Structure 1
Amino acid sequence: MFRRALMATALLFVLPLAACGQGDAVGSADAAGELNLYTARHYDADQQLYRLFEEQTGVKVNRVDGNPDQLIARMRTEGANSPADVFVAADAGALWRAQEAGLLQPVSSEVLTAAIPANLRDPEGHWFGLARRARIVAYDTARVRPEEVDTYEEIASPRFRGKLCVRSSDSVYNLSLVGALIEAWGPEKAGEWVRGVVANMARPPEGGDRDQIRAVGAGVCEIALTNSYYFIRLASGEDAGDRALTERVKLAFPSLDGRGAHVNVSGGGVARHAPNRDNAVRFLEFLATPEAQAIVATANSEFTAANGVADPAPVSAWSGFTAHPMSVTAYGRRQAEAQSLMTAAGWR
């Protein structure tokens, strides 16, 4: 199903994306001192990373923005003439899809192998996780006890009938979570969980994760599925209303089979036809440095991914949780099954 959707998407993007704006300039195939970055991450923090990499290396970063499927379709259309050096996405499933499409090449880097834990990267080096985010629960402390949301099973239990807010099934974060549950539990139990989630919805899915958190604060629902960094941004941002909201709404880190919370990654890989391959590897290695990891954590509220790099404030206030050790490569392999289960259950 995913491959058919990807092929259909490719037909829509035969021409270069018109919506890339200032990030649509790419260098020629033989340009020295450049890096052509195809990125599905759209965070202000990343601009700091690009500037620092340019300052430290003298390599100019040319950025092309889009969602993962747009960028994958573009790279497929460009073929061997693609100027892409690095593909970056905010989900392990998207990285896996690029790999499955034959758009990434394996990289042997002692720096990356030492820095990035094995469960956060492709075993053959096609891509590497470079920042972590947990998919967990925001809950109303006035109506929910922490022990009521300390496992993923409880999210789909009758206790929360009509009391759950969640975004749509086409959210790659939800697809990866359900993929992880299939990997851990098998399709039968995971399907039961998905049906329980649909039964528990307080409203049809709408908006992003911050909308779900705010809906909990507004009393629309008692619990919501969210990525950790959205909540941390609200709690540590400049908006007084958002900070006040997080005094009442808190985060719970449910455990999957007693082994920890589901964790996804943002990451990147070297494009198959990268004209500036050395710069591409250099860029990924830069993202794994303590300095770059600290920028991602501080400015984007994600958890660090590199070994031995502690989370700085304010992220450190939430970083004491146990992360499930599942390999993130499972999320992509299971996404087609996840989508099938969610569609069958009426999760739209």
Structure 2
Amino acid sequence: MFHSSLRLTVAALALTTALPAFADEVNVYSHRQPELIQPLVDAFTAETGIAVNVAFVDKGMAERLQAEGDRSPADVVLTVDIARLMQIVDAGVTQAVQSDVLDANIPETLRDPADHWFGLTARARIVYAAKDRVADGEVTTYEDLASDKWKGRICTRSGLNDYNVALLGAYIGHHGEEAAQTWAQGLKANLARKPDGGDRDQVKAIAAGECDISIGNTYYMGQMLKDPEQKPWADAVRIVFPTFENGGTHLNVSGVALTKSAPNKEAAIKFMEWLSSDAAQQIYAETNNEFPVKPGVPASELVTSWGSFTADALPLADVAKHRAAALKIMETVDYDG
């Protein structure tokens, strides 16, 4: 199975192009929250002696790297979702990394065929089902979510959200654009309410009786269980792993890429490789409620308790190719309207 976490050397939260480059450090632009990064950075520095400076970049990472150009201090970018990884690659601000270590540790379906991005953790796009209103075995496939039996019973966040666009991109990969549009229309017809909020808001709606199932990422269950206010929402549902017909459960990733400018390239690649190691993958598993991507590294006890599944074999690179078509379908069916 598959997972994610890291640390922040806060001295460099305000990384700028004036930051000096030393051979014994790595500069990271991260879309991931600092608290998720900290444990990994600490462990890497303790093992290698290489300092890691992290700047949290919530929005506009690709644009920032383009504006900085060759003067950028960033060596590595960390982000979530295949769409964000491809946005950075398509902006022309990354470079390929040929690494036997990364190739050995990360499954081929979860890395770029051209070696510009590598998945580090995985999250499954699953169904949260009301324990008291959805029978065991009632949720089966993604395709079935568009059937009439779910009329008025489904809650989702915006159809234009990256996670839902990626799921629809995977649907296109399995069945083609025409079938995907029919499915999106059917899913919309089954909504209990207009899409609103994030994945956890949908689970809250289930707990309130507004709908019976929702689509969400697995790690949100772990986050809700840790929050006293949200724990009752989590307690009201169980996780179900749908599959595509003749396929598996859809995965998305958090990932890493080497910048084109990379002033500390050698140390940066060492950091990337370490993030795919047993030690780093175990930290991801225990702190972030995600699945490690390296085969053989176990998920946390909590994540394991949610059940087992077979990951879909469709490469994420293929899913990414269908992003534009998936967005167009969501707009055509007016999913959020």
Q: TM-score when scaled to structure 1?
A: 0.88
Aligned-partner Cα distance in 1 for 2:128–2:230: 14
Q: What does residue 6 of structure 2 align with?
A: none
Question: Are positions 1:310 and 2:301 aligned together?
Answer: no
Displacement of 1:146 after TM fit? 3.2
Aligned to 1:23: 13
Query: Aligned match of 2:141 in 151, 154, 169?
Result: 151
* Structure 2 equivalent of residue 272 of structure 1: 260
Partner in structure 1 of residue 28 of structure 2: 37
Q: Identity over aligned residues, as a percent?
A: 37
Quote the residue 1:10 is aligned against: none
Aligned residue for 1:149, secondary structure, equals coil
**2:208 pairs with one of 218, 241, 244:** 218
Contact 2:160 2:330 in 1 (8 A): no
Contact 1:213/1:231 (8 A) holds in 2:
no
For residues 42 and 170 of structure 1, what CA distance do their matches in structure 2 show? 22
Give SS of 1:274's match. Answer: coil
Q: In the TM superposition, what whole-angstrom CA distance separates every residue of 1:71-127 from its partner, at most 9, and x where no partner exists?
A: 011111111222211111111121122112211111111111111011110122111
Alignment of 1:72-91 (within 5 A): 72-91=62-81
Partner of 2:223, secondary structure, is: helix
Aligned with residue 286 of structure 1, among 274, 290, 293? 274
Q: Name the structure 1 match of 2:50.
A: 59
Deviation at 1:60, TM superposition (A): 2.0
- Do the aligned residues in 1 keep the contact of 2:76 with 2:257 (CA within 8 Å)? yes
**Runs of 5+ consecutive residues of structure 1 not aligned to the other structure:** 1-19
> 8 Å contact 1:120–1:265 — kept in the other structure?
yes
Matching residue's letter, 2:49: G
Cα RMSD (Å) of the superposition? 1.9
Q: 1:34-71: per-residue Cα shift (whole Å, max 9, x none)?
A: 2111111126232111121222222222222223x510
Is the 1:156–1:197 Cα contact (8 Å) retained in structure 2? yes
Q: Is the contact between residue 70 and residue 261 of structure 2 (CA under 8 Å) also seen in structure 1?
A: yes
Letter in structure 1 aligned against 2:91: A
Runs of 4+ aligned structure 1 residues displaced above 3 Å come to 26-30, 241-248
Choose between structure 1 and 2: higher helix proportion.
Answer: 1
1:115 equivalent among 97, 100, 105: 105
Q: Is the 8 A contact 1:148 1:154 kept in 2?
A: no
The one of 282, 299, 311 equivalent to 1:323 is: 311
Partner of 1:13: none
**Which residue number corresponds to residue 124 of structure 1?**
114
> TM-score of the superposition, structure 2-length normalised?
0.91
1:7-60, CA deviations, whole angstroms, 9 ceiling, x for partnerless residues?
A: xxxxxxxxxxxxx99722247353232211111112623211112122222222
Alignment-mate amino acid for residue 305 of structure 2:
A
Matched, 1:196 2:198: no
2:166 and 2:227 map into 1 onto residues whose CA distance is: 31
Question: What amino acid does structure 1 have at the position aligned with 2:22?
Answer: A
Does 2:331 match 1:338? Answer: no
Change (3 A) 1:258 1:148: farther
Contact (CA 8 Å) 1:137, 1:226: kept in 2 or not?
yes
Structure 2 residue 38 is the aligned partner of structure 1 residue 47: yes
Q: 1:186 aligns with which of 154, 176, 182?
A: 176
Alpha carbons of 1:73 and 1:23: their partners in 2 closer, same or farther (altered >3 Å)? Answer: same
Unaligned regions of 5+ residues in structure 2, if any? 1-9
Does structure 1 retain, via aligned residues, the 8 Å contact 2:23–2:267? Answer: no
1:233 is displaced (CA, Å) by: 3.0
2:21–2:73 CA contact under 8 A, matched in 1: no
Matches of 1:117 and 1:319, distance apart in 2: 21
Shift of 1:130: 0.6
Contact 2:224 2:230 survives alignment (8 Å): yes
Q: Paired residue for 1:297, among 279, 285, 289? A: 285
